[in-house]
Amino acid sequence: MKKTLIVAAVCSLISLCSVTCYALTPQQVIDLKKAGVSDNTIQMMIEQEEKAKDPYATMGTKEIKDKDGNTVVIYTTGKSTDPDDEEAKKVEKAWEMLRNITIKQKR
């Protein structure tokens, strides 16, 4: 029970600071291992931090600063994690067809 509580607390802390924290330090990983957190859970936490770097990777609303310092709101449904995603294949095929299209005007 105590182990589950520690894991839940650590995951909650990581998710709360994932916007500002981008990497687990080696000491944090050691502390998590000492607390009994599994390798799979630590790996999942690292992957979540990586996704937090890319504002388009996860579903939701993100506020980022552009190069001029203006706040930009990004609305996204997230990226597909399935490499065999049929919808993504269809979209890519449609874009490929559009890239190769030539439009001639009749006069």
In a domain, 72, yes or no: yes
Q: What is the pLDDT of residues 36-46, one digit of tens each?
A: 988 888 888 88
As for how many domains the chain has, the answer is: 1
The string of pLDDT tens digits covering residues 58-90 is 677 878 888 899 998 888 777 666 667 777 788
**Residue ranges making up the domain that contains 16:** 2-76
For residue 107, being part of any structural domain is answered with no
pTM over 0.95: no
The pLDDT of residue 19? 43
d(CA 17, CA 39) in angstroms, rounded, equals: 21
Residue at 105 is within a domain: no
pLDDT at 55: 67
Residues with Cβ within 8 Å of 55's Cβ and at least 6 positions away in sequence, in order, are 62, 64, 74, 76
Domain contains 103: no
CA 71 – CA 52 distance, rounded (Å): 17
CA 21-33-55 angle, 5° bins? 25
% of the chain at pLDDT higher than 70: 65
User: If we measure between CA atoms, which residue out of 22, 72, 77, 27 comes closest to residue 45?
Assistant: 22
